[in-house]
Chain A
Amino acid sequence: MKTQKITIAILFIVLLGVIGCNNSEFSENGTSIEESNEMEEYIIAGLEFYDAAKSFENSIAKVDMSSFETKLDSHGNMLIIIPFAEDLEKATKSINEKKQALIKKFPKIKKMKCSERLNHLNNCIQNSIPVGLTISRLKINDTPITRTEDTYSSEQDAFVYLEQCLASSDYVEVILVVFDDGTVMTHVDGTHTAHKSNIPLNKNGSEWYTSLYNSSPIDFLAHTHKSSEPSSTDIEVAESHPGLELYIYTSGGHLTKFSD
């Protein structure tokens, strides 16, 4: 998964400070840190904070600072009233609340080394559907899509990548291939566009293979669309490749079968 940028955002959040005492990595009900709702909510709050901070930075760069209203507080300090800081305030409050909830459930987290905390964060990011959807919604990983083949050990990892691609301003169709041996692969190359994608295929007996991964027959193949409708050429492809399970992948992990 392409987590570099997200990790930077999360590292920023982690550096806000989680300091403290000692306990188990599991809560009383046995939930691990990365599987806990508290960790998910903390990361989501962190992502929203990062997004709000980015928006704030963009907004403040465009305004004339001298136009801001000022007033004196009860101690005689001058305060500058920034009208568009409301979202950032809310996000700051939210991340602090989620941080306290996380520490309350897993007190040991305060004593962990930074690298250890990052491992927990990364594990949660890679496996949490709500986190993946938030990344997509906020377009935090809105960088050019890497044009490559990636294999994953589970559908969840591929799911996060596909959701990021669908939300990207650089969107091009991505092909998802799931093999009989359980391997999951996404494929994008330089020829893909928002309306076109391709993949090498070959047939052996009744089984379909791709030269990108020869070890196992294809279980099913999907390509991304913004809507679940196959085009007429998709239907033609399905008709001319009997036995190949074909689906349209749309946001949220929905697969719409269009082959017989």
Chain B
Amino acid sequence: MKTKSLIVFMLSILCSNMTTKANTNEKENGKNDPTKTDWEEISQSAVLLSFLVEPAFDSPYGFCMIEKNGEHFLITKIIDNWEEVNKQMQDEFPTSSINLFEMDTISQAEKDRSGAFNKIQRQKRAEKALTLYNEAIKKYPINKEEAKELYFRFVSFIDQYKKTDLPKNDAVSEGDTIELTFDDGFGITISYTKDNTTKSVSEREINLSEGFKELYEKCQNIMENL
């Protein structure tokens, strides 16, 4: 199970000191040009960058990089009892289903009640799961040069990021034909913070652009080699 509240929860863990969120579409007249950025100035921010992966049916995971007393650290986080908790939630708050062969005989009102009931059960699961999750947090020192390189890579990529036209599931206007997509893969969000402002970009696994894919693989390698 994964809900919006869980995403918010994970983001809040990973980016606990981030206060303001800016959209990449907000241009800042070259203010974020990495070549003009003073590293010492940037590292005043407690959380410098974050990398978050959100699988559809598994624990979100990722890392953030922080600076503390002139030292830099990667903080990795994952919910280590995610599967157990979600199994428990499914047992505690079961959803209802209708057999395919009964669809013709069940009234629309009953189907709607089933949908509404399932929604309530999902909400209850999400709320209670948040109280049961165990965060596995690990802290690893990273040398300044590596930290700087990674930070600037994030800054450079995010500032130059151009959103491609990906299939959308936006609301449909009458007469329009859209491609409705059910995508249970994972989403990836990367962000950096400067001057208490966070800029982030997200993509779905199935539609990763080339640059995003490279950065994602680098971050995955970092996590695997810690």
What residues of chain A have their CB less than 8 Å away from a CB belonging to chain B? 155-156, 158-159, 173, 175, 178, 193, 195-205, 211, 220, 223, 225, 227-229, 231-237, 240-241, 245, 247, 249-250, 252-260
Contact = CB atoms under 8 A, between A and B. Distances in A.
Of B114, B118, B175, most A-chain CB atoms within 10 Å: B118
A201 B177 contact: yes
B121 to A, nearest CB: 10
B83 to A, nearest CB: 12
A121 B75 CA distance: 63
B111 A232 contact: no
B174 interface: yes
B206 interface: yes
B182 A178 contact: no
B96 to A, nearest CB: 7
Interface of B: 1-4, 7, 54, 56-57, 90, 95-101, 103, 111-112, 114-116, 118-119, 122, 167, 169-185, 204, 206
A202 B96 contact: no
B182 A257 contact: no
Contacts of B98: 247, 254-257
A135 B7 CA distance: 40
A218 B11 CA distance: 38
B164 to A, nearest CB: 17
B222 to A, nearest CB: 25
A255 B169 contact: no
B171 A254 contact: no
Given A197-B182, A198-B179, A199-B180, A259 B115 contact: yes
Nearest to B171: A240
Given A195-B56, A196-B206, A203-B172, A257 B115 contact: yes
Contacts of B170: 240
A11 to B, nearest CB: 29
Q: 6 tightest CB-CB pairs across the interface, nearest first?
A: A231-B56, A253-B100, A257-B115, A195-B184, A231-B184, A254-B97
B27 to A, nearest CB: 28
28 contacts: A155-B100, A159-B101, A196-B182, A196-B183, A197-B182, A198-B180, A200-B179, A202-B175, A229-B57, A232-B3, A233-B204, A234-B184, A237-B181, A240-B169, A240-B171, A241-B171, A249-B100, A252-B99, A253-B99, A254-B98, A255-B103, A258-B115, A258-B118, A258-B119, A259-B115, A260-B112, A260-B116, A260-B119
Contact of A203 (B1, B3, B57, B176): B176
A178 B104 CA distance: 10
B185 A196 contact: yes
A205 B174 contact: yes
Nearest to B178: A201
Nearest to B96: A256
Given A201-B172, A231-B57, A233-B56, 20 more contacts: A156-B101, A158-B100, A175-B182, A193-B185, A195-B56, A195-B184, A202-B176, A203-B175, A233-B169, A235-B3, A237-B169, A237-B181, A240-B170, A241-B171, A241-B180, A254-B99, A256-B98, A257-B111, A257-B114, A258-B118
Contact of A228 (B56, B97, B99, B173): B97
A155 B182 contact: no
Contacts of A159: 100-101
Nearest to B119: A260
B163 to A, nearest CB: 17
A193 B57 CA distance: 15
Contacts of B173: 203
Of B167, B178, B182, most A-chain CB atoms within 10 Å: B182
Of A196, A199, A236, A252, most B-chain CB atoms within 10 Å: A196
B184 A233 contact: yes
A147 B171 CA distance: 27
A193 B114 CA distance: 28
